[in-house]
Chain A
């Protein structure tokens, strides 16, 4: 009987597939077959026409490529060892990157003129599919939180290098990049704005959160204000801030010279600061309120004063919750900083709004893709830190 059930479970483990991997592989396959991997634009500002895999690589080459990806699909679904599967997925990703980069050369006429080739929806969906199965398999390794960060950086370096050596030079995205000499200064600006508002928000938010957890009255006074701040749309917030900041700049020229102006970085940082407060304050308060009362009582009973309790017991134990508040804020800031491009704050948002004005989709992409990338990196980094802070507290 037990032998029977054992062989049955063996059988089921042999034919059981990982749902995510299958879904991703199917998505990958059909996106390559059924969606344009590239789009062709006669000039920069016209909307393009799709180019499918078989348009770009006609005949036997196209079939070969599809066959290779079918093989990848097969290998991924076969459930080899997790490490091997991850290796195959990375190879498939590199293949996909190479495919679109090389394909752009085929699509572009020799005397290109104003013609452009942009990435098509097929590429994006295929990318998403591969990322999905990649993340899925990485999680299966159950590695330390730090490992995820290392993997993300390694992947960034790999694909950064591919682009750096010119794999994508024929693509419109890279042409926009080469036109925009200020790209890296905008990148630094974007990072600076995202973090510059976070630091004061932490410095103000955590003590406020501690205060709120100590006193019901303070809590009742602080939370409605923060809630209202949070609901003001970012554009409206920039508008509201312009008035006092412009006033300061015109009446105190000294301050204006330091950058306190109605447009630019100042309103962006102030607005982001306001948005950052609620998640940090509320997570700090909740983190402290939810602490096991017996632990705090034990600390009190052993003669720790309130400062010792706070720093040695309460804050370390509430750290995962407080850090998730900071994670929310960091990812949220990276998104909102893009909007700051509209008021001359700089950052990747500059390209998004410039692109929207010129209806130049690839310029929008030049702003949107790095923003997305930064947000993803911030999320993974913070998750790793949170994971670390949790490790000792529970298994």
Chain B
């Protein structure tokens, strides 16, 4: 559990972070969102004390971050940075091994851990361990960056716009990876983003910031349904709002189950784990008003009609 209490940061005249209080529970994926310059990075960097707050306090599991030596604190917190920041003169193995080496793990422990992490991120050990960062694609570098942050099994991972510089397909893929890994490792993640879609997709909890102030903290659905007036409404209330809402709901939640399960699907179908946004898109594309739904074994388990989806995207009062 991470608790920020009345956090303030002044850079000369700029009030970069203005009285921010936020509680993130263990195992939660918390997204920190806001426009450029609103103080997201500053807030994040105060957690691992790269920046010292002007006033206020931060505690992790009830323990003030100031009560441990700063280097020890940082070695316990994973940090994946905006722009990766891999060490160009070290190979992937050495990069990932950075914190374990600082913590004086044994050689075999480190080797095992690096292999484990590369496997976790679907990077082949033989191929990648002894390559240098410039030999990797942007997406691969970013995965190594996250793997490096996770090397010493931190319980808390801070990520500052880790996928900002990637193309849409790679970003999407890495977002799915993050969801999987967060579930698998059961860690707490605080991630900075300025992309509402990313926030909705990844976050258990979204904290919206503007001009240094924390405006609203809520679950994605809550934020979509009841955004505060002003900046938050603007943020979620674009033309995409209904679509964002749909992307939070799975097909299996709205489908009408059918009796004779097990029939083989025809050419066009949806999958039970698809979200409604994708389902809508598919329906429109193939020009059908309803499509069968299959499960992971490829068997038809129900039907979804256009009207069911449209009902979910409507404003609810």
Closest Cβ of chain A: how far from B90's Cβ, in Å?
A: 8
Interface residue? B132 (CB, 8 A): yes
Interface residue? A182 (CB, 8 A): no
Q: Measured between alpha carbons, how far is A294 from B74 in the docked complex, in Å?
A: 16
A295/B85 in contact, CB under 8 A: yes
Q: Measured between alpha carbons, how far is A392 from B134 in the docked complex, in Å?
A: 9
**Chain A residues within an 8 Å CB radius of B134:** 394-395
Q: Measured between alpha carbons, how far is A9 from B86 in the docked complex, in Å?
A: 43
Question: 1/0 per position for B68-108, CB-CB distance to A under 8 A?
Answer: 00111111000101111111110000000011001000000
A294/B81 in contact, CB under 8 A: yes
Interface residue? B188 (CB, 8 A): no
Number of A-B pairs, beta carbon distance below 8 Å:
62
A294/B84 in contact, CB under 8 A: yes
Q: Measured between alpha carbons, how far is A294 from B88 in the docked complex, in Å?
A: 12
Closest Cβ of chain B: how far from A70's Cβ, in Å?
A: 48
Q: Measured between alpha carbons, how far is A5 from B132 in the docked complex, in Å?
A: 39
**Chain A residues within an 8 Å CB radius of B87:** 295, 298-299, 313, 317
**Chain B residues within an 8 Å CB radius of A308:** 102
B81/A303 in contact, CB under 8 A: no
Beta-carbon nearest neighbor of A317 in chain B: B89
The listed residue with most B CB atoms (<10 A of its CB), out of A298, A299, A300, is A298
Interface residue? A305 (CB, 8 A): yes
Q: Measured between alpha carbons, how far is A294 from B99 in the docked complex, in Å?
A: 17
A302/B50 in contact, CB under 8 A: no
Contact partner of A298 (CB less than 8 A), chosen from B45, B71, B81, B89, is B81
Contact A393 to B89, CB < 8 A, known contacts A298-B81, A301-B50: yes
B88/A394 in contact, CB under 8 A: yes
Q: Measured between alpha carbons, how far is A292 from B84 in the docked complex, in Å?
A: 11
Q: Measured between alpha carbons, how far is A248 from B79 in the docked complex, in Å?
A: 58
**Chain A residues within an 8 Å CB radius of B84:** 294, 298
B71/A305 in contact, CB under 8 A: yes
Interface residue? A6 (CB, 8 A): no
Contact partner of A393 (CB less than 8 A), chosen from B50, B83, B88, is B88
B132/A303 in contact, CB under 8 A: no
Interface residue? A257 (CB, 8 A): no
Beta-carbon nearest neighbor of B48 in chain A: A301
Contact A301 to B74, CB < 8 A, known contacts A294-B83, A308-B102, A395-B134: yes
**Chain A residues within an 8 Å CB radius of B75:** 302-303
Contact A303 to B72, CB < 8 A, known contacts A297-B50, A298-B79, A308-B102: yes
Q: Measured between alpha carbons, how far is A304 from B88 in the docked complex, in Å?
A: 16
Closest Cβ of chain A: how far from B134's Cβ, in Å?
A: 6
B71/A304 in contact, CB under 8 A: yes
**Chain B residues within an 8 Å CB radius of A301:** 45, 48, 50, 74, 79, 81
Interface residue? A387 (CB, 8 A): no
Closest Cβ of chain A: how far from B241's Cβ, in Å?
A: 34
Contacting residues of chain A (288-340) with chain B, CB-CB under 8 angstroms: 292, 294-295, 297-305, 308, 313, 316-317
A302/B74 in contact, CB under 8 A: yes
Q: Measured between alpha carbons, how far is A393 from B86 in the docked complex, in Å?
A: 11
The listed residue with most A CB atoms (<10 A of its CB), out of B45, B73, B89, B98, is B89
Closest Cβ of chain A: how far from B60's Cβ, in Å?
A: 14
- What are 5 A-to-B residue pairs whose CB atoms are below 8 Å? A294-B82, A298-B81, A303-B99, A313-B87, A316-B89
The 4 lowest CB-CB distance pairs between A and B, nearest first, are A298-B85, A303-B74, A303-B75, A301-B79
Known: A295-B85, A300-B74. 16 other contacts (CB 8 A): A294-B81, A294-B84, A295-B86, A298-B84, A298-B86, A302-B74, A302-B75, A302-B148, A302-B149, A303-B72, A303-B102, A304-B71, A304-B102, A316-B89, A392-B132, A393-B89
